Each structure stands twice: as C-alpha cells, then as structure tokens.
C-alpha cells in the first residue's frame, strides 16, 4: 500500500532523498496528537501524489537539497 503512495509521490518531486526529507518535515508539521504517525505519513504521501509539479514543491525541494548539502559539508 505505502509503496504505491511513494511511487505516486515521486512524480512531482523526482528525487527519493528529497522526497524523504520533505515527507519527514511535513509529517512532523501535520501530525496531530493521539493519531498514528503512519496515518499522517500516508496522508502526506497522498497529498504529494495529488500535487502537480508546481513551483512551490520544486522550491521546497531545492531548499531541502541546499540544507542537506550544507549538513554534508559540515560533517
């Protein structure tokens, strides 16, 4: 089930590493207390798969890649 959501969410993002970074950030922000994290993650992946490749998603992906690159350089 979740693998279908992941492949659908890869369409607008394109990069698996970026998808993981964006999905984890979105899951932390959208998670509600007393709910399962798995359900929140599934909802986030569903929303990613429904989004067209818009400038906002691509801008967030670029920012996440820059942040990750800065962290790699610091390590």
Question: How does pLDDT run across 14-61, given as a tens digit for each residue?
Answer: 788 888 888 898 898 888 989 999 999 999 888 888 876 555 566 666
* 1 pLDDT higher than 80: no
* Contact by Cβ (8 Å): 49, 8: yes
Residue ranges making up the domain that contains 50: 2-74
Identify the residue whose tokens are 């890869």: 10
The total number of structural domains that make up the chain: 1
Q: pTM for this structure?
A: 0.64
* 9 pLDDT higher than 70: yes
pLDDT, position 36: 94
- Give the residue with greater pLDDT, 22 vs 74: 22
């Amino acid at each position: 089930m979740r693998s279908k959501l992941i492949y659908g969410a890869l369409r607008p993002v394109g990069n698996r590493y970026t998808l993981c970074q964006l999905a984890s950030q979105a899951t932390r922000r959208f998670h509600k207390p007393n709910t399962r994290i798995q359900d929140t993650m599934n909802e986030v992946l569903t929303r990613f798969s429904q989004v067209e490749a818009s400038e906002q998603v691509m801008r967030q992906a670029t920012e996440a890649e820059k942040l990750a690159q800065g962290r790699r350089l610091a390590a």
